[in-house]
Every structure is written in structure tokens, then in C-alpha cells.
């Protein structure tokens, strides 16, 4: 179990998330290049107009929810400069794996040492500079080992999904390892057009053990000028099934990498959320 607090909520109002941090994935609004082997993505407007019955319940909830979050078992970090509250002492002593991508787009997991150098302003410790010595490949995420889930080696990735935002009304259909998946997002605009999206829910739908399962991945009461996006989709834990790394931040001023794995998922579930890290720094 994770026993420390990664940040204080009081930091929220003043923190500014910098999108220029080194080697950090940046979600963008784009439609992936579609080829014969690429997943077909459904346009938000078209999905809302043609398949409203496929959108999950829009019952309003004022609670943030990550199913199974009480059982977080992994620490997550991003390789970047970050605020003091985003990290903690002795980070370097943990057993870290990095999910990396090479310049020629090959994805792999590798056990890695990290350095967490303290940064200062006016003599006061204000932040951390997280690095992976000897490895400058793009780093999706750093994650601590748990029950030997992670092994060194190549990782299969769902192409064309990285950095895609999952707007309400969108059904994102794709195939991985001969299994069909759909990411379904619901939500609505509030009465005040100046407000962001409210009552957001994201589901993963697929078949497991002969049963169709609709798995709630995240529920947020509101969003402020941002949206859930995909950092990575593929097989991180080596069981041949889909895993997801999402940015589930509800406000533009921070990011929140959230890792969902299939191997530790219980019967009747597709994924288990194993860790998340709220990250304000730059």
C-alpha cells in the first residue's frame, strides 16, 4: 500500500503546469492517421448524433472516483522538473521501471535507476529534477515494481492512440491482440457556457472469459479546459491483454498519469488501477 501523500490540495490554486517539461508526453487534439491496420475512431459529434443509446448513464455525480483506488500498489513519476510537493525523500531508493520509446518508435520497459536532484530558489528547496541517468529516450512513465509485473524488454503498443483526448460522446474502437475494445466517454456541458465539462465518465468495454464487461475507469464531476487523454495503450504487464496509461487530470494546470493493468484485475473486471500521480511541476 502507498503510505505517503504526494501533494497537498492547497497547492492547487497556485500551481501552473508547464507543457514544455523534458521528455514528457503532451496530449493534443488530433485525429490519428488511419491506415488499414489502425483502429477506427468515431468522431464525437457523429457518435452523439447516431448512437446516443451507446453512451453510458449521465446520472450526475459530485464525486471523483477511480474504481479500486484504495488498493494503489505502485508509485508513479514523470521524468521532469517538478515542484517539491510532487515528490518525496528517498525516491531514488525504490525499484523503478521506465516505459520508454526510442527515436524509431520502439517501446520497451527497462529497470532504471533515477536521480532526484533537489532544486532551489533563494536558498529554499522548491522542487526536484528527475532524471534517468544514461537513458535519454522518451519516457512515458516511471513506475515501481510490484509482484514482478514488469520485465525488461519490448512492449507491444496500440498504434495511433497516443495523445488522443477522449471527449464525451466519443466511442473509440480499436483492436489489440485480436480482441475488440471500445473506450466510451460521457458527460455534458453545463448551463453556463463559461464552465467546463461536467459529470464525465469513461468506460472500457470488451469481452473477457466469454462475458462482455463495461468497466468504469474514471469519473470526474467537472473539467476545466482539459480532457482525459491517452498516454499509452498496450501490454505493459506481459499477459497479452490491454493496459492503459491515461492522463486523468481535471484541470489544465496539472497532469495526472494513471496506470491501469490487466494482470492484477479480478474476475469480472478488465483492468485494475494500480497507481496515479498528480503532477504540477515544471
Point out the least confidently predicted range of 9-13, 173-177, 217-221, 229-233. Answer: 9-13
Q: Considering the domain boundaries, does residue 222 fall inside one?
A: yes
Q: How many domains does the chain have?
A: 1
Rg (CA), the chain: 19
Number of alpha helices (DSSP H) and beta strands (DSSP E) in the chain:
1, 16
Does residue 225 register a pLDDT over 90? no
Given 3-state DSSP classes, what are the helix, strand and coil percentages for the chain, each rounded to the nearest 5?
10, 40, 55
Buried-state track 143-161, b at ≥16 Cβ within 10 A, e below 16: bbebeebbeeeebebbbbb
* Interval 107-132: pLDDT, tens: 999 999 999 999 999 999 999 999 99
Model confidence pLDDT, tens digit, residues 4-54: 433 333 333 333 333 333 333 333 333 332 222 333 333 333 333 323 333
Return phi, psi of residue 128, to 5°. Answer: -135, 145
pLDDT number for residue 5: 35
In a domain, 249, yes or no: yes
- pLDDT at residue 27, as a whole number: 38
Q: Is 192 exposed, middle or buried (0-12, 13-18, 19+ CB in 10 A)?
A: exposed
Residue 25 lies in a domain: no
Please name the helix (run of DSSP H) or strand (run of DSSP E) that holds residue 100, with its range, or none. Answer: strand 96-101
β-sheet bridge partners, residue 224: 251
Q: How far apart are CA 200 and CA 229, in angstroms?
A: 13
Which carries the bigger pLDDT value, residue 19 or residue 182?
Answer: 182
Evaluate whether residue 16 is within a structural domain.
no
DSSP-assigned letter for residue 274: E
- 65 pLDDT higher than 80: no
Instruction: Give 121-172 pLDDT, tens digit per residue.
Output: 999 999 999 999 999 999 999 999 999 999 999 999 998 898 899 999 889 9
| pLDDT grade for 69, boundaries at 50, 70 and 90 | low
Higher pLDDT, 19 or 194: 194
pLDDT of residue 87 exceeding 90, the answer is no
pLDDT band at 188 (very low <50, low <70, confident <90, very high): confident
At residue 83, the pLDDT reads 86
Greater confidence, 20 or 211?
Answer: 211
257-261 and 211-222 beta bridge pairing:
unpaired
What is the arithmetic mean of pLDDT over 228-251? 95
Residue with cell 496500440: 158
1 lies in some domain:
no
H or E segment to which residue 47 belongs: helix 44-50
Mean pLDDT, the chain, integer? 78
Residue 3 lies in a domain: no
Domain of 46 in residue numbering reads as 31-276
Let me know if residue 13 belongs to a domain.
no
In a domain, 22, yes or no: no
Q: How far apart are CA 119 and CA 237, in angstroms?
A: 34
> What percent of the chain clears pLDDT 70, i.e. is strictly above it?
72
What is the average per-residue pLDDT within 269-275?
94
Burial-class residue 83 by CB neighbours within 10 Å (0-12, 13-18, 19+). Answer: buried
Amino acid at each position: 500500500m502507498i503510505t505517503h501523500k504526494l501533494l497537498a490540495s492547497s497547492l492547487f490554486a497556485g500551481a501552473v503546469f508547464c507543457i514544455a517539461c523534458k521528455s514528457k508526453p503532451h496530449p493534443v487534439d488530433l485525429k490519428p492517421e488511419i491506415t488499414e491496420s489502425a483502429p477506427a475512431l468515431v468522431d464525437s459529434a457523429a457518435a452523439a448524433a447516431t448512437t446516443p443509446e451507446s453512451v453510458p448513464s449521465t446520472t450526475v455525480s459530485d464525486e471523483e472516483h477511480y474504481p479500486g483506488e484504495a488498493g494503489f500498489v505502485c508509485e508513479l513519476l514523470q521524468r521532469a522538473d517538478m515542484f517539491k510537493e510532487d515528490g518525496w525523500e528517498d525516491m531514488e531508493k525504490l525499484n523503478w521501471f521506465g516505459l520508454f520509446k526510442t527515436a524509431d518508435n520502439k517501446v520497451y520497459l527497462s529497470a532504471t535507476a533515477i536521480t532526484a536532484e533537489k532544486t532551489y530558489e533563494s536558498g529554499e528547496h522548491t522542487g526536484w529534477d528527475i532524471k534517468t541517468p544514461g537513458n535519454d529516450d522518451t519516457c512515458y512513465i516511471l513506475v515501481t515494481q510490484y509482484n514482478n509485473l514488469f520485465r525488461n524488454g519490448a512492449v507491444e503498443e496500440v498504434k495511433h492512440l497516443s495523445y488522443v483526448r477522449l471527449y464525451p460522446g466519443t466511442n473509440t474502437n480499436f483492436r489489440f491482440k485480436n480482441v475488440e475494445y471500445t473506450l466510451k466517454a460521457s458527460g455534458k456541458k453545463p448551463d453556463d457556457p463559461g464552465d467546463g465539462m461536467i459529470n464525465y465518465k469513461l468506460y472500457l468495454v470488451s469481452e473477457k472469459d466469454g462475458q462482455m464487461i463495461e468497466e468504469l475507469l474514471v469519473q470526474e464531476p467537472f473539467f476545466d479546459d482539459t480532457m482525459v487523454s491517452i498516454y499509452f495503450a498496450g501490454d505493459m504487464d506481459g499477459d497479452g491483454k490491454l493496459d492503459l496509461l491515461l492522463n486523468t487530470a481535471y484541470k489544465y494546470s496539472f497532469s495526472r498519469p494513471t496506470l491501469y493493468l490487466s494482470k492484477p484485475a479480478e474476475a469480472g473486471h478488465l483492468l485494475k488501477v494500480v497507481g496515479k500521480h498528480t503532477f504540477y511541476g515544471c
